[in-house]
Amino acid sequence: MASTTQGTGRITFYVALAVFAQESTWNFYDNRVPELLRDHIASAAVIGLLMGMDNLLGIFIQPYMGNRSDNTRTAWGRRIPYLAVMMPLGAALFLLIPLAGSLGPLIVVIFLYALVMNSFKPVSESLMPDFIGPARRSRANAVVKIASALTTVVAALVSLLLVDDHPELAFAVPAGLMLVAAAVLVRGVRDNRSPAYQAALAEDAAGPRPEDAKVRTRTVVADLVLATDRSRLLLIVAVFVFGGAWFASRSLMTPYGVEVLRLSDGEAGGLTLPSGVVFILAAFPAALLAERFGRLRVMAAGIALFCLGLLLGAAVPTPAVTVVALCLGTAGAAAFIVNAVVVLWNLAPSSRVLGTYTGLYTVGWAGGGFAGPAVVGLAVDLTGWRLMLLHIAVLAAVAVVLVLRVDRLRAAR
């Protein structure tokens, strides 16, 4: 048991380091690139379109790259070869962003950066289920989510300390973190020794034909859609729906604060800050509760708490109550965000498709990030900003129904 715990902690550290490094560049990218684009583009809509390009790429690229890494067989394993090449390449492209002198080169560089970063994101995250068994995945994923949440602090500090006087050096700090993480991963992780990789090799050897060793993305998707057991498909739909509610609660909060709470832009932008701290504090307890009471039940309870928090904010539209409501909602959201991908990994039919399932989770989450704010925004156009939190709560309630349905389907098996 001590050896297992030590091994779990070791790989959790490596995966958290990889996610921390790549999310540090993403957060700084989100902070600085809009301002770089504003030097060349006056339209906020065009800037928003360019900034959303990375999410659109992720929907298509991440399942493909997750599947490609699933089907890779090398002396280094199936994940590390991609990370050894793509993490340094992503860091190099990140360094080029502030050096692009005109709009054309800037768009080319940010497109290539988004392409490379989306390509290895599911690869690095899939290392966790490769090494860690189903029982311990929630707490390991909680550590990874905490590492990801901390990158907002890193991005803010780099912006505060370096951007005004040393804008190019500011980009070098997150890039340097990613290079260090790549070196540590390549040196410290023996992907070819992971239990999931060894299981995949055993399944390959048991196949009647060599071509059976490869599992195509379309085959995995067809299995999800056509299987008599609908739990995996319903879970991805739940991820899509709750992702929409979560991103709407984040991306539309500033205009809500201005329109309903009568705050300034700066004050409204700070409404979500306390809830960011709450997420860091709630992530690991959410994993422990899931291991004790069942992941799907804790996820459903978490979404219900998210709904209750937003209903409180809708009932009492004051700044103080809104902050409390967002904190309650975020504590509940942590239960879903930490455990959803773990449930999907655990429902995967084989160790050979864990990377593909990581990519499919991203399709649901990023797709919800696209659609949710638009759907809630349309509802706001029809009813006014005053009811925005109510609209988000209704959307999240649909996710509760879907998760409970998945729980019933699993209990019936």
Q: What pLDDT sits at residue 1?
A: 38
CATH numbers and ranges of domains, the chain: 2-209 (1.20.1250.20), 215-412 (1.20.1250.20)
Q: Write down the pLDDT at residue 171.
A: 87
Q: pLDDT tens across 128-141, in order?
A: 888 888 888 898 99
CA distance 409 to 128: 26
pLDDT at site 207: 65
Contact by Cβ (8 Å): 307, 396:
yes
Whether residue 197 has pLDDT greater than 90? no
Query: What is the reported pLDDT for 209?
Result: 52
Q: Is the pLDDT of residue 208 over 70?
A: no
What's the mean pLDDT in 146-164? 74
Average pLDDT along the chain: 87
pLDDT of residue 212: 53
What is the pTM for the complete model shown? 0.84
pLDDT higher than threshold 90 for residue 5? no
Please give the Cα distance from 111 to 95 (Å, whole number).
14
